[in-house]
């Protein structure tokens, strides 16, 4: 879903986001790194100068795996959006706000159009924790301990070259 930024009214434009649309689920799946179950929310597109501010709230969930114990789990993400998009290809002096390269909440739009799928992907990707872990931490601990025990018992006893040294 694309919008021509110049056609968005100054008062802003609200957009309902719903998992009924396949492209919404696809965007959420890519951002969350697993098959999305739901993605709902509302976005407000508000132009200022040549730039576009996108605010709103998205909540999404996806099937994925715990990064620690590997158990399948449902990842829930809430994204409180406040993103700014500036036209691509303009130098800093042409844009009306100064954009720092380190500003994660600033993006670019191409050919005068904002692609909503990209907005959803970027906002959800920013809300994904760097380490996804199952919610039942004591069960996660025991599964992780079991995995570690297995890994240790399967570990080779050492390089054969070193076994000779044991005789010294
Ligand atoms: Zn876990």
Q: What is the pLDDT tens value at each position of the chain, 168 positions in all?
A: 999 999 999 999 999 999 999 999 999 999 999 999 999 999 999 999 999 999 999 999 999 999 999 999 999 999 999 999 999 876 555 555 555 544 567 889 999 999 999 999 999 999 998 889 998 999 999 999 999 999 888 766 666 666 666 655
Q: How far is the CA of 63 from the centre of ligand 1 (A)?
A: 13
Q: How far is the CA of 147 from the centre of ligand 1 (A)?
A: 11
Residue 152, in any domain of the structure: no
Handedness of CA 130, 128, 13, 6 (dihedral sign): positive
The residue range of the domain holding 51 is 2-135
pTM of the predicted structure, to 2 decimals: 0.78
Q: How far is the CA of 15 from the centre of ligand 1 (A)?
A: 36
* pLDDT (0 to 100) of residue 115: 95
* pLDDT (0 to 100) of residue 101: 46
Q: How far is the CA of 130 from the centre of ligand 1 (A)?
A: 14
89: Cβ contacts below 8 Å, ≥ 6 apart: none
Tokens 């301990």 correspond to: 145
Residue ranges near ligand 1 (ion) with Cβ within 5 Å = 66, 68-69, 71, 134, 140
Residue 113, in any domain of the structure: yes
* pLDDT (0 to 100) of residue 46: 96
Residue 7, in any domain of the structure: yes
Q: How far is the CA of 158 from the centre of ligand 1 (A)?
A: 30
**Separation of alpha carbons 74 and 63, rounded Å:** 5
Residue 140, in any domain of the structure: no
The number of folded domains in the chain is: 1
* pLDDT (0 to 100) of residue 8: 96
Residue 144, in any domain of the structure: no
* pLDDT (0 to 100) of residue 41: 98
Residue 159, in any domain of the structure: no
- Residues shown for the chain: 168
Residue 161, in any domain of the structure: no
């Amino acid at each position: 879903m694309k919008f021509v930024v110049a056609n968005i009214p100054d008062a802003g434009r609200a957009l309902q986001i719903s998992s009924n649309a396949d492209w919404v689920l696809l965007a959420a799946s890519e951002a969350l790194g697993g098959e999305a179950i739901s993605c709902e929310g509302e976005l407000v597109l508000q132009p200022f100068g040549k730039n576009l501010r996108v605010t709103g709230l998205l909540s999404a969930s996806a099937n994925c795996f715990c990064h620690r114990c590997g158990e399948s789990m449902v990842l829930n993400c809430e994204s409180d959006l406040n993103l700014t998009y500036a036209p691509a290809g303009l130098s800093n002096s042409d844009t009306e706000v100064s954009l720092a390269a380190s500003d994660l909440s600033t993006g670019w739009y191409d050919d005068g159009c904002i692609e909503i799928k990209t907005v959803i992907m970027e906002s959800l990707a920013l809300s994904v924790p760097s380490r996804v872990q199952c919610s039942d931490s004591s069960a996660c601990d025991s599964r992780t301990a079991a995995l570690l025990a297995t890994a240790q018992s399967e570990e080779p006893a050492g390089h054969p070259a070193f076994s000779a040294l044991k005789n010294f």
